[in-house]
Structures are given as C-alpha cells and as structure tokens.
Structure 1
Amino acid sequence: MSQGSAPRYPMVLVPGMLGFIHLVLYPYWYGIVEALRRGGAVVFAVQVSPLNSNEVRGEQLLARIEEILRETGADKVNLIGHSQGSLTARYAAAKRPDLVASVTSVAGPNHGSELADYLHRHYAHDSLKGRLLSGLLRVINALMCLLDTGYHGPKLPVDVHGSHHSLTTEGVALFNQRYPQGLPETWGGHGPEEVNGVRYYSWSGTLQPGKTDRGRNLFDGTNRSCRLFAKTFVREAGHCDGMVGRYSSHLGTVIGDDFPLDHFDIVNQSLGLVGKGAEPIRLFLEHAARLKAAGL
C-alpha cells in the first residue's frame, strides 16, 4: 500500500471475545497495524471488555471513538472488527452513524455462531459444567488483563453469560432485530453497501484440507483447536473457520468468504503461522486501498 492509498479516516481495529491489544509484547493484530501504518494509514488498535455483551462493548467503543476523533481531528473513523468485534462495531455505527465512515466485519458471527450454540446446549450457564466453564473464562480473562501492556484505562466489566449469549444464534437474532444495518435479506447473499451514510463490508475464511491444515499451520495449536470446534457445526458443516460459518459472516459487500484462513489466522495470530497460500495481512492492505478509493 502506497502513501497515496491510505484511507481518509483513521482505521480502528476492534478485537473479539477475550481480545487484547498486546499480551506483553505480542499483538492481537500480529503484523497488521505496522503494515497499515507503513502505508500511511492512521491506525488504532482499541480494547473493550473481553467478556461482555455487544451492547456494553459497543458503548465502550463509542467512548473510544470520541477520544480518537478529538485526538486526530478527524470527522469519522473506519471500524474493522474481528469476530465479536464485528458486532461491537455494528452497534457503534447503528447508534452513531455520524461518527462512522465504514464497518468491516472480519470473520464476524453476524447471524450467530454454531459453536456458541453448542456450548449453550451442553454447558448451560446454570449447570455445573457451565459454571466451571464460566470460572475458567474468568481466570483466563483476569490473567490476560494482567498481561495486557497495551491497555491503560479503567478496569473493564465482565459478564460471561452476556458475552456468550451475544454470540449464539438466538442472541444475535435479537441483536439483528435492533441493529439490522448491512445485513443481507437472503441467507448467503450480500447486504446493502451503504446504510445511513455508513459503508458495510465483510470477509471471512474456511477450513480447507490441503491449505489450512498445511504450511506453517502444522505448528499452530489454534488451528488444531479450530478443527476441533468445527465438529460442532451442523448447518454450515464443512463451511466454517472453526468458530464462524461462511454465510453467517456475511455483511454488506462481501469481499470473500472462503479465504484459506481459520478464525485466528484471519488476523494473523499465532505469530503469523498460517496455512498454505494464506496472506491475511494482504487482505487488510487491499482493504485500506479500497476504503481510500471509496473516499473513506
């Protein structure tokens, strides 16, 4: 990406569930922020509650957007959300479209996650197994907060049940009734390109034998986790990234939904140990140029 192809507005990267900015020195958006900045883009990787509802996270994001606008003097921002971060970004844009130029969903569960549905059925929050899982997530969250060297704000609230319910098919259906902007009218289709002055985009990946299970992914433990999680999918069996279904991810203009990337590879996590032929950073650079071309 050349200096001339940098977007007009700052790019704000919003993490998913159990997200962070830096765990000690390790960034959530591994190599992506630096690549975008080298191309001249103004980029902010932000933090919201790692475990909470879309609405709570969305209000936190709105407060952070206002800070960024004051700091940069920009009129709007381009939001890019990964996983639950996509729903968080959608909420912010629906509430304050005057502050948002675009929303881009990267592997976002815009119609819910079948993995979340499976956990809801087998690990109900009021069951013993559910309470044990909730306790484990709280411990992981507390440890990650201690290790996050990129966030220096106030302590963020935790709501494990709210976070989980916000990702189920039922929970996202309720969310979509309130905030339908950018959603396709038909399953697997494209959504409207622009709503209330906000442009909507999405892309996602799928697990592909011969690609996502080879290359550097042979040394990537998260890829093995995604392959295990994929076994919980029924409606989109064989068409998911391990956590989000191919068609469930659709929002606005669908840039692609079958890139050879699992749910973590798509933001270049695990030190960039991605599968055969995968180039997640290139997708972000191309999108920055796309936003620039659209005047965003």
Structure 2
Amino acid sequence: MAGFDSLFGIYQYFYAIPADLEDDGAEVYVTQVPQFNATEARGEALLAQVEEILAVSGAEKVNLIGHSHGGLDVRYVASVAPELVASVTTVGSPHGGAELADMLRDGLSEGGFGEAVLSFFADSLGDVLALISGSWGTEQDSVAALEALTYENSVEFSAAHPAGVPEDWCGQGDFVVDGIRYYSWSGDRALTNAFDVSDPLLGLTNLVYDEDNDGLVGECSSHLGKVIRDDYRLNHLDEVNQAFGLVHLFGPNPKSLFRAHANRLKNEGL
C-alpha cells in the first residue's frame, strides 16, 4: 500500500536493495501496482508486468517478492498463473489481516462523510505517488485497499487463494504448492532508530495490536509457507531498508536478508 518503484527516479521503495542484489549477479525487476486498490486489481496489474518481464527476459518463470500489501499481490499472481511463478516470498505481509485496518474500517460508516474524506485524501496521495514515480493513470481506490487488509477479507482472500496459508494461527503453511515454493519473514519491533522519522508513527500504530508486531503487521499474521523468521529487529519500513537505511543498530541489515534469500532461491535451483 502506497508503494512505488522509485520517487523522481532517485529514492527507491526497496531502498538500495535491487542494486545490492544485482551486484551479486541477480536479475532484478521492480514492479509497480496501484498504490491504493483491492488486492485483485493490484494483482492483475502485477500479472501484466510479470508477463512482460518474461517476454523481455526470455525466462520461463519469476521469483516474486512482495512487501506488506504486495505480499498479497504476489500470492494472487501465483494463484491465477502458477505456470509463471517459481517462488513466492512475502515480507511483513498481513495474510491474517491487520488490526489497524479493522479499527479504521469499523470507525468509518459505509458511504459516510468520514469514508469520503479518507477516500479523497488517500486517493489523492496515491495519484501523487503515481505521478512522481512515473506510473500516472493507475486507478486508486483506498477504501477497497483498506477493506482488503481487514481480517474478514483476508479470510475470504485466503479461501480463494489458499497456497502457503497456515491451517493453524501462527503456524507454518505448505512449503511447496503446485511446484511453487512459499517463504515469509517479518520484524517484531515498531521503534528501532531514533533518527528515523517514521518510527514515531509506527510506535503509535503499534498500540493497536495485541501481538508482537512491526508497527503495522502482527507476527503471526505475517506467516506464509516456510517462515524464515518473524522476530527480526525490524519495523515495517525497516524490512525494505527505509528510511535511508536507518535501522536497528543491533538488528540485521535488510540488504543482507534479501541477498541471503536470493542465494537460498539459487541453491534451490530457482
């Protein structure tokens, strides 16, 4: 949600991660979907880009990695076009819903003034992000995006696209489904670096949750397939090396986590 490839062609969402992977020989494509919309709409936009990437690269399949709402998008693509996907990896994604989304949705009357205000400002933010990241024209629907991350809609989405979803809360899901390998990891800290301007906001949203979380997604909600770890000293934005790589002094380097995972996929023959 609110994602981009890079702002003004300079500031990357996956900050400094693609270049780091490329330095080690990986072929990296950063995709971009509507900043605010339902998972299915975002997933269809991603699917079109996957098909384009395969056509350009000559590869038979892709390894998909999605952060936050992007983790649901990559699950959608793997579900509707499994022949195009070698692996799915989600990072800090709310497969079991996000308590903050439920709180916000419950506080907004359907069709009411509050919903209209949220829709106007969030959709406008999405349009601005799309403009400065070079994807102007993508359709924004922030109410649909919010609903996609509620517990109820997460259950419905997982019923339609069940691959890798744990049968038991906080368990691990099937590692291989239809030949596709499923992985996940996440952090469990909201406040990680006093110099990171995003930390106070995540420290506030953290208060909504009953379980350990990264500021926006609970540990157990992030589980999909083989859970690499759900307790890294990372908050939701640290997981993609934001802001400007200001992460926990004693936590992992996010670039190292992605590089290690690329090696993991390579060792699996993917």
TM over 0.5: yes
**Secondary structure of 1:102 counterpart:** strand
Alignment of 1:25-104 (within 5 A): 25-104=10-89
1:202-221 CA distances to partner (integer Å, 9 max, x unpaired)? 0000116xxx43xxx21112
2:269 is aligned with 1:295: yes
**Secondary structure of 1:103 counterpart:** strand
Distance 1:109 1:268 in 2: 19
Give, in angstroms, the shift of residue 127 of structure 1.
2.8
Give, in angstroms, the shift of residue 128 of structure 1.
2.2
CA contact (8 A) 1:125 1:161 kept: no
CA contact (8 A) 1:125 1:131 kept: no
Q: In terms of mean alpha carbon deviation, does 109-118 or 275-284 score higher?
A: 275-284
**Secondary structure of 1:45 counterpart:** coil
1:180 matched residue in structure 2: 162
2:218 matched residue in structure 1: 245
**Secondary structure of 2:64 counterpart:** strand
2:229 is aligned with 1:256: yes
Distance 2:262 2:39 in 1: 25
Quick one: which of 272, 283, 286 aligns to 2:245? 272
Q: In terms of mean alpha carbon deviation, does 100-109 or 272-281 score higher?
A: 272-281
**Secondary structure of 1:286 counterpart:** helix
Paired letter, 1:197 = G
Paired letter, 1:173 = V
Give, in angstroms, the shift of residue 131 of structure 1.
1.9
1:37-94 CA distances to partner (integer Å, 9 max, x unpaired)? 0000000011011111111111111111110001000000000000010000000000
Q: How many residue pairs align between the two structures? A: 268
2:179 matched residue in structure 1: 197
Change (3 A) 1:187 1:242: same
Paired letter, 2:4 = F
Please, which runs of 5 or more residues in structure 1 have no aligned partner?
Answer: 1-16
Distance 1:203 1:51 in 2: 23
**Secondary structure of 2:105 counterpart:** helix
2:259 is aligned with 1:285: yes
Give, in angstroms, the shift of residue 130 of structure 1.
2.4
Give, in angstroms, the shift of residue 146 of structure 1.
2.0
Q: Find runs of 4+ consecutive structure 1 residues off by over 6 angstroms.
A: none
**Secondary structure of 1:19 counterpart:** coil
2:4 matched residue in structure 1: 20
Paired letter, 1:147 = I
Paired letter, 1:286 = A
Q: CA RMSD in A?
A: 1.2
With normalisation by structure 2, the TM-score equals 0.96
CA contact (8 A) 2:123 2:141 kept: no
1:179-233 CA distances to partner (integer Å, 9 max, x unpaired)? 000011111111111001110000000116xxx43xxx21112111111001111
2:195 is aligned with 1:222: no
Quick one: which of 192, 208, 218 aligns to 1:232? 208
Alignment of 1:138-149 (within 5 A): 138-149=123-134
1:114 matched residue in structure 2: 99
Give, in angstroms, the shift of residue 125 of structure 1.
4.4
Distance 1:157 1:167 in 2: 18
CA contact (8 A) 2:188 2:219 kept: yes
Change (3 A) 1:230 1:124: farther
Give, in angstroms, the shift of residue 276 of structure 1.
2.1
With normalisation by structure 1, the TM-score equals 0.88
Distance 1:121 1:131 in 2: 14
**Secondary structure of 1:248 counterpart:** helix
% identity of equivalent residues: 44
1:13 matched residue in structure 2: none
Distance 1:38 1:125 in 2: 49
1:85-141 CA distances to partner (integer Å, 9 max, x unpaired)? 000000000011110000001001011001101111123442322222221112211
CA contact (8 A) 2:66 2:74 kept: yes
Paired letter, 2:3 = G
**Secondary structure of 1:158 counterpart:** coil
**Secondary structure of 1:79 counterpart:** strand
2:137 is aligned with 1:161: no
